[in-house]
Every structure is written in structure tokens, then in C-alpha cells.
């Protein structure tokens, strides 16, 4: 179990590093997904199967799919890769890099220090998680649910357009312009004064 933990952890770290350095967005996302999967394995070895599976369902399975979805819509070509390359100069990453290195060092220190080793924690199943959530942390759950509700309402408001009004207006406008530009007088006739031949 301990070996599994370390292997998964190393994979997660490597994948995250690769994710940052990839130029193609989809490749980066794939590495991030693998990193999440490795993280789920880490959770499982630490005795939290419920959290592990939720990690896969929610992060790897739902949120990352949405990311991929957006990537597919954006049609990122070679130009984007060049932009990425331009952005990835030392000036940009040196600051966060140093901070992350400090964190890594801390992490290494904690791991080396004989505080406790993974694998001996009692298993936390779904029932324990549920009892904890709806017992001592009930207020937190309610707050989160309210936040999510606000998010849903906000998304609905952003996505709402009065059906028939905006679109038909736009369609009329654009077709009229096109008609005038193209010299299509049959369709542009609306704009012409009635007394011209």
C-alpha cells in the first residue's frame, strides 16, 4: 500500500509538471486528468475510497470534460502554440516557480520527518463522510449549497435571452446590410425611396 502511495504521488507530481509545460492545451488537460487520477489513488491508499471516487467523478469526469469541451469549441491552432511559447519565458514562471519550490521543500521535509506514514489511517467510508458532513459541518454544507444555488441562478440569468426579440432583430439587421452591400435590390428594396426607378 505504501509503495502504491508513493508511485501514485510521483505520477501526480510529474503529470502536473508536464501539464504546466505542455504547449497544446488538450495535452495539458490530459496530463491534468492523469494527475487527478493519481491523486484519487493517493486518496484511496490513504483510506478514503469515497473521496477518491468522488475525485474521479467530479474533477476528472465532469469538470475536466467541460474544459475539454471548451477547448474543442475554441479551435486552437498553431498560432496559439506560438503564443504559448512566447508566454512561457522565464520572466513569467520564475516567481511562481520559486514559491512552488519552497512548498515542495516543505513537503519533502514533512515527508522525511517521522511524523506519520500513510496507510495506517482507518478507512473513511461514505457513511462516515455523510455523518461528518451532516453532523458537525451542516452549516458549511448549507452555505455551499446556497453558493451553488446562486451560481445556478446566475448562470441561468447569463444564458437567458428573451426568445425571439434579440435574435430576430439581429437577423433582420444583418440580412438588410448584406442585401445593400451585395446590390441585391429586390431584397434591399425596403430601404430605397419609392420614387426612384
Residues making contact with another protein (CB under 8 A)? 24, 26-27, 30, 33, 49-50, 53-54, 56-57, 60-62, 65-66, 68-69, 71-73, 123, 125-127, 131
Taking each helix axis as running N to C, give the angle between helix 2-21 and helix 25-45, from 0 to 180 degrees, rounded to the nearest 10: 160
Q: Give least dist CB 23 to another protein, A.
A: 12
Q: Give least dist CB 37 to another protein, A.
A: 8
Angle at 87 (CA atoms; ends 83, 92), nearest 5 degrees? 175
Q: Give least dist CB 161 to another protein, A.
A: 15
Residue with cell 425596403: 190
Q: Give least dist CB 195 to another protein, A.
A: 47
**Smaller CB separation from another protein, 104 or 138:** 138
**Smaller CB separation from another protein, 113 or 158:** 158
**Smaller CB separation from another protein, 70 or 104:** 70
**Smaller CB separation from another protein, 10 or 62:** 62
**Smaller CB separation from another protein, 14 or 30:** 30
Grid cell listed for 106: 516543505
Q: Give least dist CB 50 to another protein, A.
A: 6
Amino acid at each position: 500500500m505504501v509503495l502504491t502511495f508513493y508511485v501514485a504521488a510521483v505520477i501526480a507530481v510529474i503529470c502536473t509538471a508536464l501539464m504546466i509545460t505542455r504547449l497544446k492545451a488538450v495535452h495539458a488537460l490530459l496530463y491534468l486528468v492523469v494527475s487527478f487520477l493519481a491523486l484519487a489513488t493517493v486518496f484511496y491508499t490513504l483510506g478514503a475510497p469515497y473521496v477518491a471516487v468522488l475525485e474521479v467523478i467530479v474533477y476528472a469526469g465532469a469538470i475536466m470534460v467541460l474544459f475539454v469541451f471548451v477547448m474543442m469549441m475554441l479551435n486552437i491552432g498553431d498560432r496559439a502554440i506560438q503564443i504559448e511559447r512566447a508566454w512561457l519565458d522565464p520572466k513569467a514562471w520564475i516567481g511562481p516557480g520559486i514559491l512552488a519550490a519552497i512548498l515542495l521543500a516543505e513537503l519533502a521535509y514533512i515527508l522525511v520527518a517521522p511524523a506519520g506514514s500513510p496507510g495506517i489511517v482507518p478507512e473513511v467510508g461514505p457513511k462516515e463522510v455523510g455523518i461528518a458532513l451532516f453532523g458537525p459541518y451542516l452549516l458549511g454544507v448549507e452555505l455551499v449549497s446556497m453558493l451553488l444555488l446562486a451560481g445556478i441562478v446566475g448562470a441561468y440569468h447569463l444564458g437567458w435571452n428573451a426568445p425571439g426579440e434579440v435574435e430576430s432583430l439581429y437577423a433582420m439587421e444583418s440580412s438588410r446590410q448584406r442585401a445593400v452591400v451585395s446590390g441585391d435590390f429586390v431584397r434591399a428594396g425596403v430601404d430605397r425611396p419609392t420614387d426612384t426607378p
